[in-house]
Every structure is written in C-alpha cells, then in structure tokens.
C-alpha cells in the first residue's frame, strides 16, 4: 500500500481519536501469510485503554475507512492498544503512579518495580529482592527504557 494512502488514513484516524479523547499512536500495513493485508492501528488512553474503548473506536474507524475510495483492496483492520512493547517516556510517569513498570537502567540492570512517588525530575520505585522491600530513586538519566510491567 502506498505511503500517500497511509498518510490519509493516519490523518483521519488521528482526528477521530482526538475527538474520542484517545491517543492515536500509529497505523501501518503488514502482510500476513494467512490473513493477507492487515491494517494495524495502535491507540491508547493514558496507558489504560479499555476493551470497550478499543471496540468503539474500531467501529468508528471502520466507517471512516469505508469512506476512502483508494482503500479498495481487501484487508483486515486490527485495532489494539500500544501494548507492553511500547516504550514509556519518563515525562509520562505521572500517568502511571502505583503501576508496575519494567525498567532497564543505564548500567544494564533490569528490574520490575512499582512507581510510588514522582516529582519533576525524580521517580521513587519499590521492588522486592528475596522478599525484602527495596526503594530506588531514579531520574531520567538513570533509566534507559521503561515499559509496562506486571507483578509476577
């Protein structure tokens, strides 16, 4: 699929997402051996989008896409959240207080920790090593990557 068409899709779906109070992350075409062409659309809402919100947006996206004459080839629409693979910028941590996050520190250490406090330039995390609670204060320079984490 050509870039011009993808740009038009992105523009229209971004506008609809904004109207719905949802963050549009990306849209891209992928080829799947079994399914054929798949239009993958990623959306989110403060890292906590619900299945109902995804379903509602999918219905609206289908109607919008049906109105694009250049999109005549068959394809499958796949709307989903940004997911745990999505990197989280340090500036967005205020949206994730009391959530577990997977952190890769600049020294290479990997931890899953709960964000318990935040100020302008420092975040406080707690995590456990062999049942012992540890506190860790980090700033953006201490962290290489942040992703959604899950407590095991």
Domain with CATH 2.30.30.100 in the chain: 90-148
**Radius of gyration of the CA atoms of the chain, in A:** 19
- Residues 5-26 have pLDDT tens digits of 999 999 999 999 999 999 999 9
Asked whether residue 152 carries a pLDDT value surpassing 70, the answer given is: no
pLDDT tens figures, 100-119:
999 999 999 999 999 999 98
CATH of domain 90-148: 2.30.30.100
Which residues make up the CATH 3.30.300.70 domain(s) of the chain? 3-81
Entry pTM: 0.77
The Cα–Cα gap between 40 and 38 comes to: 6
How many Cα atoms are found within 13 Å in the side-chain-facing hemisphere of 146? Answer: 22
In CATH, the architecture of 3-81 is 2-Layer Sandwich (3.30)
pLDDT at 93 over 70: yes
């Amino acid at each position: 699929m050509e870039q011009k068409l993808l740009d038009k899709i992105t523009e229209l779906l971004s506008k609809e997402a904004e109207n719905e109070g949802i963050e549009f992350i990306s849209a891209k075409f992928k080829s799947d051996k079994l399914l054929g062409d798949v239009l993958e659309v990623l959306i989110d809402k403060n890292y906590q989008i619900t299945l109902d919100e995804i379903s509602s947006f999918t219905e609206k996206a289908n109607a919008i896409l049906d109105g694009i004459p250049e999109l005549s080839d068959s394809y499958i629409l796949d709307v989903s959240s940004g997911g745990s693979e999505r990197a989280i910028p340090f500036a967005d941590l205020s949206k994730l207080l009391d959530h577990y996050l997977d952190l890769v520190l600049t020294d290479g250490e990997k931890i899953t920790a709960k964000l318990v406090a935040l100020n302008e330039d420092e975040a406080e995390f707690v995590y456990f090593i062999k049942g012992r609670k540890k506190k860790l204060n980090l700033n953006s320079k201490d962290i290489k990557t942040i992703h959604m984490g899950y407590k095991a």
